[in-house]
Amino acid sequence: MAKLKPPVNGEDHIEGSFQAPVIFVEYGDFQCPYCGAAYPVIKQIQKKFKDQLGFVFRHFPLAESHPYAQIAAVASEAAALQGKFWPMHDLIYENQSRLSPKTLLTMAESLKLDLKKFQKDIQDASLIEKVETSFESGIDSGVNGTPSFYINGVKYEGSYDLPSLSHAIEKAIAGHKEISH
């Protein structure tokens, strides 16, 4: 069974709490149609499980298949430097079919980011390296396609439809409750 390497840590972007009973990690590619299809399901999962779930997104851009995946990942990290990782993450997925360097700039503008800083940051080698480090951690974790999910550090091998994911997360929550009592 594939394990998440490294475990979720302060370098990760999380919606929810690191202390939540379930930490749900996605390795995703912003241009992957399957990740795009999973995006609304994940939003429903987050709504359903609220504070019982921490959602972490890690980059796994499949640049050979998706020419804008890498720049979109770096753009989300540039937005993170201005406190807007999650709004940029959502905008990219909601506009996935129109991805280009120009639309990423339009998204940054719509999020009221400092555009000069954003344009400088998307060229920043440390952000490019952060995306590459995330990709490498995916390889170390056994990711062989996107989206790949991990529930409390263990690779989830099921379908990513709402009933299947909900069931797996409910099992993880029940397991957490047994351990903490």
Amino acid, res. 166: S
Residue-wise pLDDT for 17-37, tens only, equals 999 999 999 999 999 999 999
Give me the mean pLDDT over the 89-103 stretch: 96
Residue 2 banded pLDDT, cuts 50, 70, 90: confident
Residue 177 pLDDT greater than 90, yes or no: no
CA distance 180 to 177: 5
pLDDT at position 179, please? 55
- As given in the structure block, the two tokens for residue 152 are 């409390």
Q: What is the pLDDT of residue 86?
A: 98
In this prediction, residue 181 has a pLDDT band, given cuts at 50, 70 and 90, of very low
- Span 51-76, average pLDDT: 97
Which residue ranges form the domains of the chain, and what is each CATH number? 13-180 (3.40.30.10)
Q: Which two tokens stand for residue 41?
A: 């399901």
Q: What is the 3-state secondary structure (H, E, C) of 50-115?
A: HHHEEEEEEECCCCCCCCCHHHHHHHHHHHHCCCCHHHHHHHHHHCHHHCCHHHHHHHHHHCCCCH
pLDDT digits (tens, 9 = 90+) for 113-169: 999 999 999 999 999 999 999 999 999 999 999 999 999 999 999 999 999 999 999
pLDDT score for 178: 63
